[in-house]
Amino acid sequence: MTMPDTDRAKVVKAFMTGGQATKAAAAYALYGTDAEVQTFLTETLSRVTAEDNRVAIARSLVRAGKGTRREAVAALDDGDDAIAEFLAQGYRPALLEDLSVATAIVSSTGGKGVRREASAALDAGTRQALETFLTDGQYDAALEDARVQVSAMMISAGPEVRKYADRALSGTAADIQWFLDTGQHIARARDQESATIAELVAVVEREGKRAQAETDLATEASARAQAAAQKAKEAAEKAAAEAAAAQQDVQKSAAAARKAANAAAGAANAARDAISASNAAVNASRRASYAATAASHAAATAGNAAARAYNAAIAASKDASKTAAAKNAAVVARDAAAKAQSAAKAADYAAAATAQS
């Protein structure tokens, strides 16, 4: 929309494009005299723009990553010029840093397909490539990895496991995840077979990585909540001081009330992030529990293998023709024990990860 080159038109433009403080001051000026319009353009506009900029950065703290949060807090501490510079272009390097870190975290907990796509995004190193991976690409790659995992199970599975797996592969991403988390165990029970120790170790490692990822989310959400709460507290204290000093000035009192409302909104956002941190910590604990359960099953499987090796050794001592079978049983028991030990270490890693949250 083309507007005339007049002072009032400039105020209207400020009202249309500005933040809450700018809109309030512009509306006040538009209802006033030409002198008040001029005062808005020469004095008030820069002040309320700075206020809106400060609010914009403070609100971004509850969504920002570690790098962006670090630079945003520094800008808030350094004053209005630093804030304007941060909003104009200063946030870009920190945002790219956060996107790279987030991509690396996803890669560390993903399968082969996820790692491949994450590596491609990190190699490109652009904001678009990283955002595309985080918002879309990682989920397609994770589905690819899950399909590969289900297909691998079907090779040596019983009829019920194959039926459940085939049904999952014909369904949605949620169907595949349900099979991996729950369905396969129901099917194995119907087939009266147990997961191999290698499959149990894979479960422990997968859930350990997920527990670490959930713990990282909890830690990051907690840090965002703390930063946002601190800035909300500072804004509330400043608003209270301004309100006390402006009791006889209607416009200044309104501005102080607006700042207090913004501070309250910031505190509410911080509280929501604290809740997110708590939820992520609960999820991490659940994943660690899954890992521990799989590790205990792996240990039981190793124990059964050891018992079979012991019985085979006794049989061989009585019948020399059974020596080869005893030797094979001993090898199986040794491998099972080694894998069970790996599962135990992975479960310990998952438990340690949740202890950090």
Give 58-95 pLDDT, tens digit per residue: 887 777 888 998 998 899 889 999 999 999 999 999 99
Can you give the pLDDT at residue 190? 76
Can you give the pLDDT at residue 313? 54
Give 192-234 pLDDT, tens digit per residue: 655 565 665 565 666 666 666 666 666 666 666 666 566 556 6
Of 129 and 349, the one with more pLDDT? 129
With left for phi above 0 and alpha for psi between -120 and 50, is residue 125 left, alpha or beta?
left
List of residues 6+ apart from 168 with CB closer than 8 A:
150, 175, 176, 178, 179, 183
C-alpha span between 49 and 11 (Å, rounded)? 13
Q: Residue 291: is its pLDDT beyond 80?
A: no
Q: Mean of the pLDDT values across residues 99-127? A: 94
Give the residue extent of every domain in the chain. Answer: 110-192, 199-357
CA-based R_g, the chain, Å? 30
* Inter-axis angle of helices 45-60 and 20-30, nearest 10: 160
Give 306-334 pLDDT, tens digit per residue: 555 556 555 555 565 656 664 565 555 55
> What percent of the chain clears pLDDT 70, i.e. is strictly above it?
53
- What tokens appear for 17 in the block? 């494009």
pLDDT tier at 250 (50, 70, 90 boundaries)? very low
**CB count, 10 Å around CB of 40?**
24
Residue from 62, 60, 63, 55 nearest 24 by CA = 55
CB 337 within 8 A of CB 302: yes
Question: What is the average pLDDT value for the chain, to the nearest integer?
Answer: 74
pTM passes above 0.75:
no
